[in-house]
Chains A and B, each alone.
Chain A
Amino acid sequence: MTAGVVQVNGELIATRRAGAYHHLTFVAPGLAEHARPGQFVALTVGGPTAATLLRRCFSIHRVSPSGTYGGTVDVVVSAKGAGTQWLTALRAHDETDIVGPLGRPFPLPTEPVPCVLVGGGYGSAPLFWLAEALRERGCAVHLVLGAATEARLFGVVEGRRCADTVTVTTDDGSLGHRGWVSDVLPGVIRDSGAAVVYGCGPMGMLRSVTEVAAAEGAVAQVAVEESMACGVGVCMTCVLPVRGNDGLTRMVRSCVEGPVFRGDRVRWDAFSDGLCRVPADAVGAPRAGGH
């Protein structure tokens, strides 16, 4: 269970465009001190009487425990629905309720091994902070950023400051290599001799990151993106099938047991066509006739 989670009224102190996204900074006293890369925050949207009741969860881009305003937390938002549009329309000094830090962070290697960090779209948001934590431990950091277009990349400039190498891919070739991150990933892992590959982005990308890492003899640690209603572990909507230490597959909550999982533990075979089915061998799986 996450220690030190807080529920605070967060005042927005900075909002700016970052390509196709918005980068928001909130004052969140007591949250920054306990947060680790890979954890997330759950924000209310629309104000206290809004019809949009469910929290929106965002990977923490970075935290600052002691700035001018006290502790702050940064998130990157893609305004694609009513809730995220409300967030990106906030102006300085507007407030929203923030719960965090939530979930389990990226595990860090005990030895100073080379690492590859892969981000798809704004899924790269937590990787720069992770890169700094890894380099403090003496790990070489190689960043791979991919997106559909240049505008949908996040953090290319920031990446060049905090990683040893940065490789960029876009589907349309508007920046970097034309293609997917999985096209360049084998070469980056091989050239760097990486032992760990961290990934954050869409589920399809995380699956290929896991497969490529396994083929190259590296461990994949992936932060999954599942839709959540509460973010704190009570709604049971953000589940996915994951194999445990006992070899058994269970439907586990990505908000409390994740969002970071070892890639080879996730049952990617259950995902297709935007749905995730319960594997027949999962604990308590529906029998004929269903639940």
Chain B
Amino acid sequence: MTMLESAVGVSAATSVDMSTDLGGAVLPSPMMTASGCAANGRELHRFLDLRELGAFVTKTVMAQPRSGRGTPRMAETPSGMLNSIGLQGPGIDAFVTKDLAWLRSVGARVLVSIAGNTSGEFADVAARLRASDAFDCVVGVEVNISCPNVANRGLVFACDPLASGKTVALVREQLPRDIPIFAKLTPDVTDLVSIAQAAVKAGADGLTMVNTLLGMVIDTDLLRPQVAGVTGGLSGPAIRPVAVRAIWQVRAAMLEGRLPRVPIIGVGGVRTGRDALELVAAGASAVQVGTAAFNDPGAPARVGRELQSLLAERGFARFSDAVGVAHERIA
């Protein structure tokens, strides 16, 4: 490569417009952390500037402080891991005064992940978030109706269209119209599109797909479950094809008019810019990097730079032109 070509390559990459519109929230970059894989920002800020991300996604917060489960809490699996944390967190009041205030102080745009044991608790958490002093750094709320590490295990809200719709509707009522809410869905369902339809109909401005898959590992020395919570959530590159499929199915349903066109935040097994591009081509308007950050704490920002270069190489002037492009390229 000559110096001139090299210089052209660099300027082409930096000239790709990476901005993305997520239900009214226009972000300078599609890259995000994934909930539960980045704590609440201070730790990763040592390795990357959180402002470089489109949004920082917080660890799911509930109404009350929560210890999480006992240990062992994780097992390494081929190209991934099983986790059974149990939504450990400080509770919404401590979260807004300590964590959200800190994120605001460093200039991060924040997507706050919330959960509750009941639909009412989801709404209560949203209301207390809205009332907080640091709320102006919030660019959206992710409604975690699909964490597998709850007492009823696989029977999460997101397995039931009615429960999903009710929870989303109650959260929507508590937040200003200009704050988009995203329902986080599990692929562990028979008909993902029907859950997506229920969430959007109830007022979700977008969808985050996918949460971890419910899984299990047995310790073959002790011949007992390896994590203390018995089952856990499977994440990492091993599940990426599941994420691509889920995004593809829901995007296809939107293109067919079976549900309104809303932005999809893609998440699941993204480790490189190439992986991110797969999710984008399937229909993701933003990409979260989760488990890969355990391997490389700088990954959420690095993947964004790699994605920008790949888009430039493929001749895209705007990130948004690549969203869902694979749907146009099948017979």
Contact = CB atoms under 8 A, between A and B. Distances in A.
A in complex with B: yes
Most buried by A among B47, B67, B74: B67
B257 interface: no
Contacts of B127: none
Contact of B67 (A226, A230, A234, A286): A286
A289 B151 CA distance: 7
Contacts of A238: 71
Contact of A236 (B39, B65, B236): B39
Interface string B136-171: 000000000000011100000000000000000000
Contacts of A2: 46
Interface string A258-276: 0000000000001000111
A250 B70 contact: no
Contacts of A51: 78-79, 237
B43 interface: yes
A37 to B, nearest CB: 21
Interface string B265-290: 00000010000000000000000000
B212 to A, nearest CB: 13
Interface in B28-48: 36-39, 42-44, 46-47
Contact of B37 (A5, A54, A235, A275): A235
A13 to B, nearest CB: 23
B67 A250 contact: yes
Nearest to B147: A291
B67 A236 contact: no
A256 interface: yes
Given A53-B76, A235-B294, A284-B91, A291 B47 contact: no
Contacts of A55: 294-295
B74 A235 contact: yes
B39 A251 contact: no
B151 A290 contact: yes
Contact of B88 (A1, A239, A275): A239
A66 interface: no
B293 A230 contact: yes
Interface string B61-90: 000111111111110101111010111110
B324 interface: no
A276 B70 contact: yes
Given A227-B74, A235-B74, A239-B73, A291 B68 contact: yes
B284 to A, nearest CB: 21
Contacts of B83: 229, 235, 237
B308 interface: no
Interface of A: 1-2, 5, 7, 44, 51-55, 97, 99, 226-227, 229-230, 232-240, 250-251, 256, 270, 274-278, 282-286, 289-291
Interface of B: 36-39, 42-44, 46-47, 59, 64-74, 76, 78-81, 83, 85-89, 91, 149-151, 222, 228-229, 236-237, 271, 291-298
